[in-house]
Amino acid sequence: MSTQRRLTTTSYALLSQLSLRPWSTYELAGQSARYFRYVWPRAESAIYREVKQLAKAGLVDGRKEYVGRRARTVYSISKAGLAELREWLDTPPSPFAMEFEGMLRLFVAPVAEAGQVEAALKQVRADNQEMLTFAGEVKQEYLDGRGALQDQVYVRALAIDFFANLLNTVDDWAARALDEIARWDSHSVEERNERAMSILAQVPVDTPAQPTTETPVVPDSQRRSARYPRG
């Protein structure tokens, strides 16, 4: 019953899912692979490990069921689990983070062979297309009334809206970047840099009013765990 170990966001992600309805571990792993993968990617084995620990901590109840001779465990959230979940909801979420190897490829451009960076960015667009196709399928599932947790479309629609827009933004950028790269061959580094300055000037973000007195330090919005501040 007592919560020994500190819970991770992965714990809460599972508690969240289980707060909506009971699931078997296999189903949870499936949901993770199909949907959660995009916002909170975790290995399949981590799901199995994690629910077991949640059960040990008394935050979820496991019930063995049988399909023929094959057993499976169906979990549901416990009162203690729901309380934990509610407490988590009073803490600020950890900030948006990403891994984008495509950008690493771009950074090596000065020492890459012609075409290598281009190929990487084309791959980025291909991946994006694949994900957009998936998003389109999910959109259609909900429009057809056969989406997962269809009774919560009012929540899920916002998630689909998020992804479609995000993927389009990334794709638009990749297209722009490919356009620029195509010009590199016929321009010197100096010419490219001059052009870059006007691209920079048009980047949709305000520059600081007073010149930053010195190079700002390491960004701080790292991991958080405290409650929301005062108001």
Partner DNA sequence: TAACGTATACTATCGTTTAGAGTATGTCAA
Partner DNA sequence: TTGACATACTCTAAACGATAGTATACGTTA
Q: Which is nearer to DNA, 10 or 17 (CB)?
A: 10
Which option in a copy of itself, DNA, none does residue 87 bind, with CB closer than 5 to 8 A by kind? Answer: none
Does 72 help bind DNA (rule: CB under 7 A)? yes
- The DSSP element (H or E) to which 4 belongs, if any, is none
Residues 74-113 that bind a copy of itself (CB under 8 A): 82, 85-86, 89-90, 92-113
| Residues across the chain | 231
Close Cβ partners of 35 (under 8 Å, ≥ 6 residues apart): 148
CA nearest to 19, candidates 67, 89, 104: 89
Binding mask 23-62 for a copy of itself (x = CB under 8 A): -------x--xx--xxxxx---------------------
The residue range among 19-27, 83-91, 103-111, 123-131 that interacts with DNA, by the rule CB under 7 A, is 19-27
- DSSP H or E segment with residue 229: none
Q: Which is nearer to a copy of itself, 68 or 172 (CB)?
A: 172
Task: Using the rule CB under 7 A, give the single segment among 85-93, 119-127, 201-209, 215-223 that binds DNA.
Answer: 215-223
Among 79, 133, 175, 182, binds a copy of itself (CB under 8 A): 133
- The H-or-E segment that residue 9 falls in is helix 9-20
Furthest-apart CA pair in the chain: how many Å? Answer: 72
CB neighbourhood size of 79 (10 A): 10
